[in-house]
């Protein structure tokens, strides 16, 4: 009888222990699942934000490269202009004639009708 009582008691303790573990697991899942969902949403937002930042940085890099190219081009043109202006008298004259011609055209005059270009004897 003692052995039967011990076996029944052990069985009851085991079943109660299993039920308590199941209850605790259920309660713990009820607490942790919402937290898990929030963490997953946060990870998704962080990943999305990071990807957007990478795209923005790439776009910024491309714009900087374009600006560098334009800056170099403007610098080259400025050096060429300075060289032309400081250079030979012929170059200065040609540049002055070009500016004058553009000014006349912008004011509405037509070459050959509103103004005439002298032909130089070179």
What confidence score (pLDDT) does residue 67 get? 95
- The whole-angstrom separation of Cα 28 and Cα 96 is 87
- The whole-angstrom separation of Cα 19 and Cα 5 is 21
Phi first, then psi, for residue 111 (nearest 5°) are: -60, 130
| Alpha-helical segments (H) within 87-107 | 89-106
Task: Specify the DSSP class assigned to residue 119.
Answer: P
What confidence score (pLDDT) does residue 43 get? 97
| Tens-digit pLDDT string for the chain (122 aa) | 888 888 888 888 889 899 999 999 999 999 999 999 999 999 999 999 999 999 999 999 999 999 999 999 999 888 887 776 676 677 777 878 888 889 888 888 888 887 777 765 44
**Sign of torsion over alpha carbons 93, 94, 95, 101:** positive
Domain residue spans in the chain? Answer: 2-86
What confidence score (pLDDT) does residue 119 get? 64
Total-model pTM: 0.45
């Amino acid at each position: 009888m003692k052995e039967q009582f011990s076996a029944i008691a052990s069985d009851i303790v085991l079943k109660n222990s299993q039920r308590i573990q199941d209850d605790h697991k259920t309660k713990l899942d009820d607490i942790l699942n919402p937290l898990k969902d929030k963490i997953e949403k946060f990870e998704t937002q962080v990943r999305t934000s990071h990807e957007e930042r990478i795209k923005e940085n790439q776009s910024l890099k491309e714009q900087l490269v374009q600006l560098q190219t334009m800056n170099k081009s403007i610098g080259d043109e400025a050096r060429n202009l300075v060289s032309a202006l400081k250079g030979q008298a012929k170059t200065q004259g040609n540049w002055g004639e070009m500016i004058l011609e553009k000014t006349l055209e912008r004011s509405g005059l037509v070459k050959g009708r509103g103004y005439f270009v002298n032909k130089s004897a070179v």
